[in-house]
Structure 1
Amino acid sequence: MAEEIATAKPIRTLGTPLASTIAVLTTILGLIVLAWTILFVTKGRFLKGPFERMVASQTQREVKVAGDFQLYFAPFNVKFVAEGMRISNPQWAGRGDFFRAKKVDSRISTWSLITGNRRINWLGLEDGHLDLQWDKAGKRNSWTFNEEKGEPLELPLIRRALVQGTMIRYLDPRMRIEAGIRVHTVEAKDTQFASSIGFDGTGTVRGTRFVMNGALLTPNATVSGGKNELKLHAEAVRTQIDLSGTLPGATEIEGADLHLDMRGQNLADAFSLIGVAVPDTRLYRFRSELTKAGNEWRLTRLRGRFGDSDLAGKVTVAMTQPRLMLTADLATRMLDIVDAGPFIGYSPQASAAGAVVTRAAGAPRILPDAPLRVEALRNFDAKVNWTVRSVRAERLPISNLKLGLTLDDRLLKLSPLNFSLARGTVNSDIRINARRQPVFTEYDIRLSPTPMGVLLAGFGVEESGTTGTLKARVELTGTGNSVRDSLASSNGRIAIILPKGAFWTRNVQLAELDVGTFVQKMFEKKLKEPVQINCGLIGFTVRGGIAAADPILIDTEKSVMTARGGFSFKNETIDLAFRADSKKFSLFAGQSPVAINGFFAAPGINPISGELLARAGVGLGLGLVASPLAAVIAFVDVGDAKAADCGPVLSGASARSQRDEKGRPRNDVGRGTTAKSESGKQSGDEKKKQRKKFLGIF
């Protein structure tokens, strides 16, 4: 029995591990309670020195608290009080303090300290000063402590605040922003709100002065359903902005429900404040909902007007690096042609007054010359889609415009840029490369088969009787910071093809100055009798901004029309000699060119050419010495013209490939006086006969 008792194993006490765990947890909890009690009783005043040293070490700044200091749990939030507190600026920011205040009294969410959300449930600030600066390189700032790279400014989430006599200064040399804002809390009159934080300030943005004022109404804790209500009014460079709505917290913009009302004389003024270039506009007013999500500012339910045009859609501005990103999806029901002028470089005020024509050296100019804002393109990227249902224009039947715009580091693409024109479609792709200086632009504009009658109807010509169509393409490249400059240096091709179709007899007879046939048909009431166009090509070769006819050839059932000359993008002059040879015998047919001259802004037609005057003189002489019938002989068209070869025409043959009835190269195309340079001398290339095969672009 004794041996059994001696060899028996001790019985393990049940629950020992659980008891040990409970003991450890009880000890930890006791220590926490003890620490909490010590901090609560002493208010944590003994932590003043350690606090100064620790914060100074972490921020590499001088940190001092001249007066009372408290840091404890009350009961669950962290209570922080500091009198006469200051934190110095970093050395690169110069002398002065980043932060100083007569008194700071706050309650900080303990859980937010663990998660890093930095939520302040209550903030009392008396006679504070906050100096927010970026360095000149835009790499460091005064609020990012102990970091080589500055982070964007993110204010802590403040639920409620009481601020007295506080000044906030913001300086960003790179963005050219300098602002001073005063903040002061007053008692609110509305019982729903406990206080009103008023603010006002002035400053400059990119050299433009602005003023602002507003208030933030903080909710009364005794009234349910209250939210921080914001009201802000700002004015700058002929622009007024009103912002109103509610915030989840005093500084909590994320998920805010805000309403924006913006109006002014020119929308480009407002966007210039953030370094974004948009076309000029006339008077405008827009309203939208505004909220913030992450690094994005979103304008939704946008609606308003600019000039006599409407606009709706949504816009997002993302504060990304190295450039902010602008995206937009916009729609317009009716776009006034005057409001479209600034998109290609016309002044909105000038186009509204009908004064798009300027003068240079006494000559009229109409090509837009507003320079591209190259420097502004460095600040942002963009992706914009814009649709326009109708365009209000007196003479241009334009509708269904669709624009896709992308900007990537100064490379601007307008693709597609499409619209309906007189039941045809214009498809465009324009590429503007501002990475190069001067700016390099590529134009590729294509017109699908379009009824001539509808197109001419916009210019006062009756549509009935004309069934002909045309298709065209412009393919040019040029350098320059404006449309005028790029076209003045452009190279490429311009071509218009006329497939088969019917045109008014009146139009054809006038083109060939066949007065006899015109008068005869007028009395016979056959002016609207259609004449068939067999084929036609109007082509120009463009070199250095000078466009030379290459070729112009139209074959109808009754005549062969040709032209020579061209026009100049440099000085906007026109010098074309247009001629039509009848295929049939006709009296009074003027077998000499009709001159189309003048300027783009003021073209002229002169049928009385030197050749025609000489023939008229011969006819007059014969009439004096012989009989009146002899004077008619000089105007007789014996109908010696042969039908043009439609194959070469429609296949895009050059001027040299076009030949007369004897097989000789025609000498009445591709040789205009505008092919000369402005100095009056032809270059070596201009002196060469045009041999280049027309681009197979159709």
Structure 2
Amino acid sequence: MTEISAAPDEPIMADEPIVAPPRRRRRRIVVRVLLGIVVTIFAVWLLLYVTKGRFLRHPFERVVGSLTHREVKVGGDFQLYFAPFAIKLVADQASVSNPGWATRPQLFSADHLEARIAPLSLLFGRRRLYALDLVNGAVDLEWNATHDRNSWTFSDKKGGKPLEFPTIDVATVAGTTVRYRDPRMKLLADLSFDTIRSDAARIGRSVGFTGKGVVRTTPFTLTGSLLSPDKTVARGQNKLTMRAFAANNVIDVAGTLPSVAEIEGVPLAVAARGRNVDELLNIIGVVVPETRRYRMTAQLVKRGTDYRFTRLKGRFGDSDIAGSFTVQQIEPRIHIDATLATRQLDIVDVAPFIGYNPDLVATKGVVAAARATGAAPARMLPDARLRVEAMRQFDADVRYTVGTVRSRRVPISDVALTTRLKAGILQLSPLTFAMARGNVAADVTIDASKRPTHTRYDIRLAPTPMSRLLSGFGVAEAGTTGLIKGRLQLEGDGETIHESLAASNGRIAFTMPSGTFWTRNVQLAELDIGTFAQKMFEGRLKEPVRINCGVIAFTVRRGVAAADPILIDTTKNVIVGRGGFSFATEAMDLAFRADGKKFSVFSGQSPVGLKGYFSQPSIDVISPELLNRAGAGLGLALLATPVAGILAFVDVGDAKSAACGPILRAAPAAAQRTTEGKPRDDVGNGKAGKQVKRKKFLGIF
């Protein structure tokens, strides 16, 4: 048998160990490490499962508190473990603190919190809870005073994030309350939610809530429902309906929210109704004139600090309203920007704009409405005080138009009003409207920044045909031509319209360029019985009498207006007036007399008096002067012959024609002249109580 021996140059190694390749060695190390990790995780899992992780309460409080910059406490039972793969958290008497600036110590507290959390959702994507059981949870949501931080944003940086909720598959939430506070809106609300039970991310019915709170100083209550809570649980869209009751108003809100606490940029349908729009807007500190009962709808969209209401439609009293407005939370005051329009405005609904209660105006009249404001009997101007302090709390820019004003006596149309309120100064400028008898433009400034409030009135009547202006006073339009224009400029101090006018100074003037009147009207105005009868029997009653020029003007001092002057020059006579009226008492004492330029028999030549009050004017045709003349005529008839009695009613026709230049300039009485350039001494001079110089008849009276 042949033996095989090793080659001399190849040494034989006895018992040499076999070495594994490097790749196999690394794989073996990885397996051992992974096995160690698995064993460790299992050991941790087993430890947590057995102990329920109760020993982690204090580390949990420290870690979560550090991450949220808040104090986190668990006062009762605590569990934190995997069961088996979801993280199970149990915390009784748990709380998370609010930041130091908040008014409540706790952002969140609950008697019992039990949740199963998807582990990976804590690291990636949307937070997800497989299950949630919450008992007597309380959430406090607040904004700080400067509105740049909120309590639910866990960061020291400025700016508050929207409130977000995790996805919840199965939940039971009982006894939950939410408190919301916004100092800029001066809003505080406390809500209580019905018990919520969901299964497989479905609740299956609406979730109701009730609440109460305060907006500024107005308390409110509310009820509401989440009509699609299944989508809310799944962080989807949520249909919300809510009804609030505040200051005699009912406000309904409905819309679809991206999440239960997010309304930014979301269109909401809003409807409101109540007895007074002023009561509604006064909730947010905005003052408007009182109205009768109203109902309105609009679409609300909140963007940042702006609350914009569009598609506004509704009615107040017997009038309609439409348009849009925006409420801006601009410190230190709210700002209102509005564009509104009314197709038909009932005259009764205008009453609140000058201080009257519209319901009283509608049922009992203007005088009763004025009396309700504190005015004396028979007065028309209201004594309703301006709400000065409220006017200083907000600014406004409002544009308002009206198609027609429904009125039985003075039809008004094409109203356009621009209102600006800033720092307590209210400007109604311009205010324009068309009457059936003339066009009016006005600028009114109410300066409530001063004490007492200072008001400036500037009201202008555009050149208007006299036929239109006077048609309501028995002057037929046919045969009457010419224009009339006027202006009222007054300034006064006072907290009501009546007070400011009663203390006002200024001037009121109406001028008439050349035109014509029916003879009938002129003769009746001067009580020229003879000429009137003659014209009537001759069939020439409608023969026009030409007006050369005329002015009706008053100088106002401390609320008392005195004629300065009243002077109308026609081709056949000169009409002069004296007296005046008072804004304080609203009493009138005016007298008009027409002196003929031509000889006339049976001319009364007696003043026609306008007396009484603004609310109860009276015309006094049979004046003492006319009675004295009748007595003189009777005496002449007894002493001489009946024909002699006629002499007492004869007008020799010596009235001096007026120069039209000063009249058309609405110059005061001192500047009035005859056509010969002589000063006139037969017109009122702007001083209360000054009488017009009497004219002598036939040189004997």
Structure 1 length normalisation: TM-score? 0.80
After TM superposition, list the pairs within 5 Å mapping 1:618-629 onto structure 2. Answer: 618-629=632-643
Are 1:552 and 2:566 counterparts? Answer: yes
Deviations along 1:269-301, whole A, 9 cap, x unmatched?
111111111111111111122222222222211
Q: Distance in 2 between matches of 1:647 and 1:175?
A: 61
After TM superposition, list the pairs within 5 Å mapping 1:365-380 onto structure 2. Answer: 365-380=379-394
Q: Distance in 1 between matches of 2:391 and 2:132?
A: 41
Are 1:484 and 2:498 counterparts? Answer: yes
Q: Which amino acid aligns with 1:364?
A: A
Instruction: From the superposition, tell whether residues 71 and 207 of structure 1 become closer, same or farther in structure 2 (CA, over 3 Å).
Output: farther
Deviation at 1:583, TM superposition (A): 1.0
Query: Would the aligned equivalents of 2:102 and 2:142 in 1 still touch at CA under 8 Å?
Result: yes
Deviation at 1:186, TM superposition (A): 4.1
Query: Would the aligned equivalents of 1:120 and 1:158 in 2 still touch at CA under 8 Å?
Result: no
Match among 163, 181, 187 for residue 156 of structure 1? 163
Deviation at 1:168, TM superposition (A): 3.2
After TM superposition, list the pairs within 5 Å mapping 1:628-647 onto structure 2. Answer: 628-647=642-661
Q: Which amino acid aligns with 1:670?
A: N
Q: Which moved more, 1:138-147 or 1:319-328?
A: 138-147
In structure 2, the partner of 1:465 is 479
Deviation at 1:448, TM superposition (A): 0.9
In structure 1, the partner of 2:550 is 536
Instruction: From the superposition, tell whether residues 108 and 615 of structure 1 become closer, same or farther in structure 2 (CA, over 3 Å).
Output: farther
Deviation at 1:80, TM superposition (A): 8.6
Match among 557, 577, 581 for residue 567 of structure 1? 581
Are 1:612 and 2:626 counterparts? Answer: yes
Instruction: From the superposition, tell whether residues 216 and 664 of structure 1 become closer, same or farther in structure 2 (CA, over 3 Å).
Output: same
Deviations along 1:337-371, whole A, 9 cap, x unmatched?
11111112111112222521145796411012222
Instruction: From the superposition, tell whether residues 63 and 654 of structure 1 become closer, same or farther in structure 2 (CA, over 3 Å).
Output: same
Are 1:211 and 2:228 counterparts? Answer: no
Are 1:126 and 2:139 counterparts? Answer: no
SS at match of 2:227: strand
SS at match of 2:284: coil
Q: Distance in 2 between matches of 1:121 and 1:405?
A: 58
Q: Distance in 1 between matches of 2:602 and 2:129?
A: 96
Deviations along 1:633-658, whole A, 9 cap, x unmatched?
11111110121000111123221122
In structure 1, the partner of 2:683 is 668
After TM superposition, list the pairs within 5 Å mapping 1:11-90 onto structure 2. Answer: 49=58, 52-53=61-62, 63-66=72-75, 67-68=77-78, 83-87=92-96
Q: Which amino acid aligns with 1:164?
A: A
In structure 1, the partner of 2:360 is 350
Deviations along 1:111-147, whole A, 9 cap, x unmatched?
99999x9999998753122446789x99999948999
Deviation at 1:108, TM superposition (A): 11
Instruction: From the superposition, tell whether residues 140 and 581 of structure 1 become closer, same or farther in structure 2 (CA, over 3 Å).
Output: same
In structure 2, the partner of 1:413 is 427
Query: Would the aligned equivalents of 1:188 and 1:217 in 2 still touch at CA under 8 Å?
Result: no
Instruction: From the superposition, tell whether residues 51 and 291 of structure 1 become closer, same or farther in structure 2 (CA, over 3 Å).
Output: farther
Query: Would the aligned equivalents of 1:119 and 1:157 in 2 still touch at CA under 8 Å?
Result: no
Q: Distance in 1 between matches of 2:73 and 2:154?
A: 18
In structure 1, the partner of 2:300 is 290
Q: Distance in 1 between matches of 2:687 and 2:198?
A: 80
Query: Would the aligned equivalents of 2:143 and 2:150 in 1 still touch at CA under 8 Å?
Result: yes
Q: Distance in 2 between matches of 1:466 and 1:60?
A: 87
SS at match of 2:657: coil
Q: Which amino acid aligns with 2:652?
A: V
SS at match of 2:366: coil
Q: Which amino acid aligns with 2:359?
A: Q
In structure 1, the partner of 2:13 is none
Deviations along 1:521-567, whole A, 9 cap, x unmatched?
23334333222111111111112111111111111111111111111
Q: Which amino acid aligns with 1:265?
A: R
Query: Would the aligned equivalents of 1:309 and 1:332 in 2 still touch at CA under 8 Å?
Result: yes
Are 1:272 and 2:287 counterparts? Answer: no
SS at match of 1:341: helix
Q: Which amino acid aligns with 2:225?
A: A
Structure 2 length normalisation: TM-score? 0.79
Deviations along 1:442-493, whole A, 9 cap, x unmatched?
1111111112222333456533222232111111111112211111111111
Q: Distance in 2 between matches of 1:627 and 1:649?
A: 44
Q: Which amino acid aligns with 1:156?
A: L
Are 1:438 and 2:459 counterparts? Answer: no
Query: Would the aligned equivalents of 1:121 and 1:159 in 2 still touch at CA under 8 Å?
Result: no
Deviations along 1:366-411, whole A, 9 cap, x unmatched?
0122222222223321111111111111122311111111111212
Instruction: From the superposition, tell whether residues 540 and 81 of structure 1 become closer, same or farther in structure 2 (CA, over 3 Å).
Output: farther
Q: Distance in 2 between matches of 1:252 and 1:494?
A: 58
Q: Which amino acid aligns with 2:602?
A: F
Q: Distance in 1 between matches of 2:568 and 2:157?
A: 69
Deviations along 1:418-465, whole A, 9 cap, x unmatched?
111237431211111111122111111111111222233345653322
Q: Distance in 1 between matches of 2:89 and 2:316?
A: 52
Q: Which moved more, 1:396-405 or 1:451-460?
A: 451-460
Match among 98, 102, 121 for residue 111 of structure 2? 102
What are structure 1's unaligned runs of at least 5 residues?
Answer: 1-29, 677-698
Q: Distance in 2 between matches of 1:220 and 1:63?
A: 30
What are structure 2's unaligned runs of at least 5 residues?
Answer: 1-33, 692-701
Q: Distance in 2 between matches of 1:75 and 1:452?
A: 95
CA RMSD of aligned residues (A): 4.3
Are 1:299 and 2:292 counterparts? Answer: no
Q: Distance in 2 between matches of 1:654 and 1:62?
A: 82
Deviation at 1:157, TM superposition (A): 3.7
Deviations along 1:247-286, whole A, 9 cap, x unmatched?
1211111232321121111111111111111111111111
Are 1:584 and 2:598 counterparts? Answer: yes
Count of aligned pairs: 636
In structure 2, the partner of 1:685 is none
SS at match of 1:273: helix
Q: Distance in 1 between matches of 2:306 and 2:445?
A: 28
Query: Would the aligned equivalents of 1:140 and 1:149 in 2 still touch at CA under 8 Å?
Result: no
